[in-house]
């Protein structure tokens, strides 16, 4: 029996309809991913699923009785204090076992302990449900899976934001909810922690529903895809790469079948245009009635033709300012140091040439965003600093007209595209963007002739766009070529070059879409090998 079933559910807000007659199920043990373009209503669907009584909707939402739901949002408030990482993870279990000890003592002192037995049994069931008596071993196992064993005795307040996000996810998993919901858990995780998240999801034997745009997670995790577009939802049993290929195959078939129909509609529309033009020069009411009849026919045909939002060819595009390529130095950084409570960077120096595409990478808390921000200030204050476009990370406090994170980042990028910049400083530009927008941004960065210095944890973007890699570690900067960096990553973490696989997938999708638009359907099938 399904944990949750949506049947013909329609929902929206006064300013925007979100879903129209959507249906899907979440089965026990599934690792489902919820995808869709920015602003399509993914987070809203999660909120409706978790707390339907707060909302007014049409249709039916069925549940298999009462069950516990865990939730990890995009932004997690970082706990401070002296508690260790292990104590932070153990806290819910220590409290439960403490309740058990107190109840047992209370029963031992009571004249009629039978009255307390039912309450005690409920507490025992809660402990058994989370395997409370084995919490020590379970915590250490999860820390090992996530690659965080080394910080078990560190204070939880001292760990990086990415490490804390991963610890928060671990604590939710340890509490064994029947359904664990995660809304973009990958946002702002550095690569080491992102790999840890992949391992946690894949080793988790509970039911998961995750919103993500991370192509690493999409390619490595999940066995069901829920895809929202234009108020509709499509459910696919299989991995994201399988779904992506199935969409391409289906798109070819549908476009081929509807080509003749579209040609007929176009012919009728041209006839309407001719009738309209003729009606302008005559007062004959018969001509006007013929025009109206033909217009209604075209409208009916268009309604019959319909549109499938899942088969539409993506049309995201970015166009950064045109820059004439020049030789020479764009800017230099000399003896840069950075300190907060501790020293993060010491005597860092490097030169950026005009036209360079450079990615700054490194673990959370190594100073990546800070050095980018200081470079922007330096260039802004220099008379010959050039025209610099700066993209900053969004934070939880950013609240631009209630837009989603992806919509806010799209607005930032579109503003930069409208500027006259010869240098771009970008701090996590792909975060929150849907996959099609990420790919479009990477293409625009590749075509841009100016200078790019970006901070990114998105290694697909890094390997596609950057020729030079600046690695911040141990208080200093180490440089690698983009090619050498990519090889080092997949050699260390993967059995194959997943970055090359993703590049091939994108190239195939682009070729197939171009052939579909040219009505070359057999050639499109040849590209797919079907």
Q: What pLDDT score was predicted for residue 503?
A: 85
CB-hemisphere CA count at 13 Å for 415? 13
Averaged over 19-27, what is the pLDDT?
95
CATH number at 449 reads 3.40.50.300
The answer to whether position 225 is within a domain reads: no
Residue 390 — pLDDT band, cuts 50, 70, 90?
very high
More confident residue, 41 or 118: 41
77-99 pLDDT tens trace: 888 888 999 999 999 999 999 99
For residues 340 and 479, state if they share a domain. Answer: yes
Lowest mean pLDDT among 157-161, 219-223, 254-258: 254-258
For residues 249 and 380, state if they share a domain. Answer: no
The answer to whether position 314 is within a domain reads: no
Distances (CA, A) of 283 to 66, 273, 289: 70, 17, 11
> Is a pLDDT exceeding 90 seen at residue 268?
no
Q: What pLDDT score was predicted for residue 406?
A: 83
CA dihedral 397, 401, 404, 408 (to 10 degrees): -80
For residues 427 and 280, state if they share a domain. Answer: no
d(CA 342, CA 339): 6
Joined together, the tokens standing for residue 281 give: 């020069």
For residues 380 and 337, state if they share a domain. Answer: yes
For residues 375 and 300, state if they share a domain. Answer: no
> Is a pLDDT exceeding 70 seen at residue 294?
no
Strand (E) or helix (H) holding 192: helix 191-203
Q: What pLDDT score was predicted for residue 383?
A: 75
The answer to whether position 198 is within a domain reads: no
> Is a pLDDT exceeding 60 seen at residue 399?
no
Q: What pLDDT score was predicted for residue 438?
A: 92
CB-hemisphere CA count at 13 Å for 341? 3
> Is a pLDDT exceeding 90 seen at residue 200?
yes
State the chain's mean pLDDT as an integer.
88
Lowest mean pLDDT among 214-223, 230-239, 498-507: 498-507
φ, ψ of residue 280 in degrees (nearest 5): -65, -20
For residues 433 and 349, state if they share a domain. Answer: yes
* Domain extent at residue 445: 329-393+404-493
The answer to whether position 24 is within a domain reads: no
Averaged over 492-511, what is the pLDDT?
84
Let me know if 391 is exposed, middle or buried by CB neighbors in 10 A (0-12, 13-18, 19+). Answer: buried
Q: What pLDDT score was predicted for residue 287?
A: 59
DSSP string of 90-113, one letter each residue? HHHHHHHHHHHHHHHHHHHH-S-T
d(CA 167, CA 170): 5
For residues 281 and 342, state if they share a domain. Answer: no
For residues 488 and 339, state if they share a domain. Answer: yes
Q: What angle do CA 266, 271, 274 make, to 5 degrees?
A: 130
d(CA 288, CA 422): 56
Q: Based on DSSP, count helices (H) and strands (E) in the chain, helices before strands.
A: 16, 17
For residues 274 and 378, state if they share a domain. Answer: no
Averaged over 347-376, what is the pLDDT?
93
The answer to whether position 352 is within a domain reads: yes
310-330 pLDDT tens trace: 778 887 889 898 888 788 999
Number of other CB atoms surrounding residue 524 within 10 Å:
25
Let me know if 208 is exposed, middle or buried by CB neighbors in 10 A (0-12, 13-18, 19+). Answer: buried
Q: What pLDDT score was predicted for residue 116?
A: 80
Residue 398 — pLDDT band, cuts 50, 70, 90?
low
For residues 290 and 340, state if they share a domain. Answer: no
Q: What pLDDT score was predicted for residue 365?
A: 85
* Long-range Cβ pairs for the range 445-449 (8 Å, 24+): 445/320, 445/357, 446/357, 447/320, 448/320, 448/323, 448/424, 449/322, 449/323, 449/324, 449/325, 449/355
Q: What pLDDT score was predicted for residue 395?
A: 65
For residues 336 and 257, state if they share a domain. Answer: no
Question: Cα(first)–Cα(last) distance of the chain, in Å?
Answer: 36
Residue 198 — pLDDT band, cuts 50, 70, 90?
very high
Q: Beta strands 16-26 and 4-13: pairing type?
A: antiparallel
Averaged over 179-192, what is the pLDDT?
91
Number of other CB atoms surrounding residue 281 within 10 Å:
8
3-class secondary structure per residue, 335-376? EEEEECCCEEEEEEEEEEECCCEEEEEECCCCCHHHHHHHHH
The answer to whether position 445 is within a domain reads: yes
Residues 6 or more apart whose CB falls under 8 angstroms from that of 322 comprise: 449
The answer to whether position 453 is within a domain reads: yes
Q: What pLDDT score was predicted for residue 232?
A: 92
27-57 pLDDT tens trace: 999 999 999 988 899 999 999 999 999 999 9
Q: What pLDDT score was predicted for residue 106?
A: 82
Rg over alpha carbons for the chain, rounded to the nearest Å, is: 28
Percentage with pLDDT > 70 across the chain = 92
For residues 336 and 437, state if they share a domain. Answer: yes
423-442 pLDDT tens trace: 999 999 998 898 999 999 99
The answer to whether position 479 is within a domain reads: yes
Joined together, the tokens standing for residue 343 give: 């020293």
More confident residue, 108 or 202: 202
CB 357 within 8 Å of CB 303:
no
Number of domains making up the chain: 2
């Amino acid at each position: 029996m399904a944990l949750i079933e949506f049947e013909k559910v329609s929902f929206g807000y006064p300013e925007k309809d979100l879903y129209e007659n959507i249906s899907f199920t979440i089965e026990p043990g599934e690792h489902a991913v919820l995808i869709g373009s920015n602003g399509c209503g993914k987070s809203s669907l999660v909120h409706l699923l978790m707390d339907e009584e707060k909302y007014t909707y049409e249709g039916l939402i069925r549940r298999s009785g009462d069950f516990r739901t865990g939730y990890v949002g995009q932004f997690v408030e970082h706990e401070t204090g002296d508690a260790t990482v292990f104590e932070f993870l153990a806290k819910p279990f220590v409290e439960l076992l403490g309740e058990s000890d107190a109840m047992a003592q209370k029963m031992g002192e009571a004249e009629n302990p039978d009255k307390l037995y039912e309450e005690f049994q409920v507490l025992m069931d809660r402990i058994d449900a989370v395997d409370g008596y084995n919490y020590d071993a379970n915590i250490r196992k999860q820390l090992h899976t996530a690659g965080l064993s080394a910080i078990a005795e560190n204070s939880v307040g001292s760990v990086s934001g990415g490490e804390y996000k991963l610890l928060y996810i671990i604590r939710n998993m340890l509490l064994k909810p029947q359904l664990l919901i995660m809304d973009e858990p990958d946002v702002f995780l550095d690569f080491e922690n992102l790999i840890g998240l992949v391992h946690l999801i894949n080793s988790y034997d509970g039911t998961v529903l995750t919103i993500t745009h991370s192509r690493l997670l999409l390619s490595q995790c999940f066995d069901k895809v829920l895809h929202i577009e234009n108020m509709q939802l499509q459910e696919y049993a299989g991995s994201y790469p399988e779904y992506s290929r199935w969409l391409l195959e289906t798109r070819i078939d549908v476009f081929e079948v509807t080509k003749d129909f579209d040609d007929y509609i176009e012919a009728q529309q041209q006839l309407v245009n001719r009738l309209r033009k003729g009606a302008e020069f005559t007062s004959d009411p018969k001509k006007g009635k013929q025009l109206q009849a033909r217009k209604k026919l075209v409208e009916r045909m268009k309604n019959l033709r319909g549109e499938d939002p899942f088969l539409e060819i993506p049309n995201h595009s970015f166009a950064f300012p045109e820059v004439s390529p020049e030789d020479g130095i764009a800017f230099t950084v000399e003896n840069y140091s950075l300190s907060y409570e501790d020293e993060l960077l010491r005597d860092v120096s490097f030169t950026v040439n005009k036209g360079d595409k450079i990615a700054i990478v490194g673990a959370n808390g190594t100073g990546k965003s800070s050095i980018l921000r200081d470079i922007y200030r330096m260039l802004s204050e220099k008379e010959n600093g050039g025209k610099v476009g700066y993209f900053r990370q969004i934070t939880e406090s950013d609240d631009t007209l209630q837009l989603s994170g992806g919509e806010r980042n799209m607005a930032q990028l579109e503003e930069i595209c409208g500027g006259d910049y010869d240098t771009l400083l970008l701090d996590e530009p792909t975060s929150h963007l849907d996959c099609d927008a990420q790919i479009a941004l990477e293409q625009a960065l590749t075509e841009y002739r100016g200078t790019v210095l970006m901070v990114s944890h998105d290694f697909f973007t890094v390997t596609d766009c950057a020729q030079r890699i600046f690695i911040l570690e141990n208080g200093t900067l180490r440089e690698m070529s983009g090619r050498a960096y990519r090889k080092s990553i997949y050699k260390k973490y993967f059995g194959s070059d997943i970055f090359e696989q993703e590049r091939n997938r994108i190239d195939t999708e682009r070729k197939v879409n171009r052939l579909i638009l040219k009505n070359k359907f057999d050639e499109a099938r040849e590209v797919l090998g079907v």
